[in-house]
């Protein structure tokens, strides 16, 4: 079964807000065996809405629409749908009572625009929106289901979870969709594909393999679709095992979790701790770790030592090292990592120092040059990286490279 998501709103197209609704809905639909065929964003324009609906019905069985249901003149979705399905508007008594109650709780008067929120196309199924005043509308048209929901994320999510998804499951016989992720590092996408070419070619038609590369990592995703859940899980497990055995040295984990979370889970399992010493990444590496609940189990903290003075005062980097080799050097990175180990009393430490750009580079130390060091209680190793001249990309690449260096050191230590 295929679905299409249509988001309506000029604010999305001009970049005023980011469309997070579609990504969330796609995940939830996939869980129940509904494949999203296309996601479309359009303006608050009747002709655009009609055109998008016409095209969506050629591709999908289910069309989910968000946005344009507010009380103001620029919210035209409801009126456009009424015209599209040739349904006059009527006042829905249950919705009107809900709107009245909503405003009574806020101790605010209702005006005509609020009363008009209770108007719906006469012929749709009205689904109460308990978290707002705009009702959800369910249409059945020529064998297709079209659902119009508010664009406010928490209103849409409640409606999807409590109302729409249960109704979809009751309306269609849905297949099971099973995913298995294999996170790899240290081997490019094309080389990885070459290593497992014969395995990929042996996959049956109902199992697909996707390559999802990102800054030095490649996430392999096996997806199986069918009516026999147990058989699908068995097949997926078999092919996962074959791939892992083939490229074992590059496999980070076989769970669909972020790389930094995988590192912390591994460290927690072995009761290890770590800290960071950041310069050019300005705290971004720490953010990647601390965004996850439970990070304090292994991540003790660290320091953002942007200036040479702080590198000396907080991390104990020697003044002579900075004078002789500079802040962006192998020697400084190593002393930063050792300083974090000693001052923050952790089992491991990562240090990053570099020229993020776009300015500040020299012939000897160009923009994008980054030194990263990882230390444990007995050793410290540093590695040189040369990235490009885009500041934000350099920060992201440096953070990922640091995590990779830590992961490889951790994996090596745990083997021994």
Distance CA 338, CA 199 (A): 44
Place of tokens 């440096």: 398
Distance CA 253, CA 217 (A): 12
pLDDT along the chain (416 residues), means of 10: 95 92 96 94 95 96 95 89 96 92 86 88 96 94 96 96 96 91 90 96 97 89 95 97 94 89 95 98 98 97 97 98 98 98 97 96 96 97 96 95 93 89
Q: Which of 27, 26, 83 is nearest to 53 (CA)?
A: 83
Identify whether the C-beta of residue 138 lies closer than 8 Å to the C-beta of residue 85.
Answer: no
Distance CA 9, CA 111 (A): 24
Q: Which two tokens stand for residue 10?
A: 């000029």
Residue 77 confidence (pLDDT): 95
What is this structure's pTM?
0.72
Residue 106 confidence (pLDDT): 83
CATH level 3 topology of 259-415: Maf protein (3.90.950)
CATH for 176-253 (3.30.70.2860, 3.40.50.620, 3.40.50.300, 3.20.20.60): 3.30.70.2860
Identify whether the C-beta of residue 312 lies closer than 8 Å to the C-beta of residue 319.
Answer: yes
Beta strands 217-226 and 369-375 are unpaired
CATH for 2-171 (3.40.50.460, 3.40.980.10, 3.40.50.720, 3.30.420.40): 3.40.980.10
Q: Which residues of 366-376 are buried (b: 16+ CB within 10 A; e: fewer)?
A: ebbbbbbbbbb
Residue 70 confidence (pLDDT): 86
The answer to whether domain 2-171 and domain 259-415 are alike in fold is no
Q: Which two tokens stand for residue 343?
A: 């001052």
DSSP assignment string, 273-308: -EEEEESTTTTHHHHHHHTSTTGGGTEEEEEE--SH
Residue 322 confidence (pLDDT): 98
Residue 21 confidence (pLDDT): 96
Place of tokens 């702080």: 310
CA angle 217, 374, 337 (to 5 degrees): 140
Residue 42: Cβ within 10 Å count:
21
Structural domain boundaries in the chain: 2-171, 176-253, 259-415
Q: Which residues contact 305 (CB under 8 A, 6 or more apart)?
A: 277, 278, 279, 311, 314, 315, 336
CB-count burial class (<10 Å; 0-12, 13-18, 19+) for 274: buried
Radius of gyration of the chain measured on its C-alpha atoms: 27
Distance CA 95, CA 85 (A): 21
Residue 385 confidence (pLDDT): 96
Residue 249 confidence (pLDDT): 86
DSSP assignment string, 23-53: HHHHHHHHHTTPEEEEEEEE-S-HHHHHHHH
Residue 416 confidence (pLDDT): 80
Q: Where are the alpha helices (DSSP H) in 14-160?
A: 21-31, 46-59, 77-84, 93-106, 112-115, 153-159
CB-count burial class (<10 Å; 0-12, 13-18, 19+) for 415: exposed
Q: Which residues contact 197 (CB under 8 A, 6 or more apart)?
A: none
């Amino acid at each position: 079964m295929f679905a299409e998501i249509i988001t309506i709103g000029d604010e999305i197209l001009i970049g005023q807000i980011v469309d997070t609704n579609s990504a969330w809905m796609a995940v939830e639909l996939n869980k129940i065996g509904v494949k999203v065929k296309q996601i479309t964003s359009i303006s608050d324009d009747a002709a655009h809405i009609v055109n998008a609906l016409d095209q969506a019905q050629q591709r999908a069985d289910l069309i989910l629409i968000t946005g344009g249901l507010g009380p103001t003149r620029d919210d035209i979705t409801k009126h456009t749908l009424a015209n599209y399905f040739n349904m006059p508007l009527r006042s829905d008594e249950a919705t009107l009572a809900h709107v009245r109650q909503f405003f009574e709780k806020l101790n605010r008067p209702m005006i005509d625009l609020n009363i008009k929120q209770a108007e719906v196309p006469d012929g749709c199924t009205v689904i109460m929106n308990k978290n707002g005043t705009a009702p959800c509308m369910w249409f059945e048209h020529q064998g297709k289901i079209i659902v119009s929901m508010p664009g406010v994320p928490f209103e849409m999510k409640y409606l999807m979870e409590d109302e729409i998804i249960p109704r979809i499951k009751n309306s269609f016989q849905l297949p099971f969709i099973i995913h298995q992720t294999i996170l790899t590092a240290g081997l490019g996408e094309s080389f990885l594909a070459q290593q497992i070419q014969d395995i990929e070619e042996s996959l049956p038609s109902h199992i697909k393999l996707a390559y999802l590369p990102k800054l030095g990592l490649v996430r392999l995703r096996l997806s199986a679709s069918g009516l026999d859940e147990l058989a699908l899980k068995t097949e997926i497990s078999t092919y996962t095992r074959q791939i892992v055995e083939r490229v074992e040295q590059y496999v980070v984990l076989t769970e669909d979790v972020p790389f930094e979370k995988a590192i912390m889970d591994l460290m927690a399992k072995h009761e290890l701790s770590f800290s960071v010493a950041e310069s050019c990444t300005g705290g971004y590496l720490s953010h990647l770790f601390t965004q996850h609940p439970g990070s304090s189990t292994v991540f003790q903290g660290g320091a953002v030592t942007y200036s040479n003075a702080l590198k000396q005062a907080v991390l104990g980097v020697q003044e002579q090292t900075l004078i002789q080799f500079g802040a962006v050097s192998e020697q400084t990175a190593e002393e930063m990592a050792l300083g974090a180990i000693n001052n923050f009393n952790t089992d491991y430490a990562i240090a990053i120092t570099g020229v993020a750009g776009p300015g500040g580079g020299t012939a000897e130390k160009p923009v994008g040059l980054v030194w990263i060091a990882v230390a444990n209680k007995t050793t410290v190793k540093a590695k040189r990286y040369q990235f490009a001249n885009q500041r934000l990309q350099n920060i992201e690449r440096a953070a990922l490279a640091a995590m990779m260096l830590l992961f490889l050191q951790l994996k090596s230590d745990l083997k021994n």
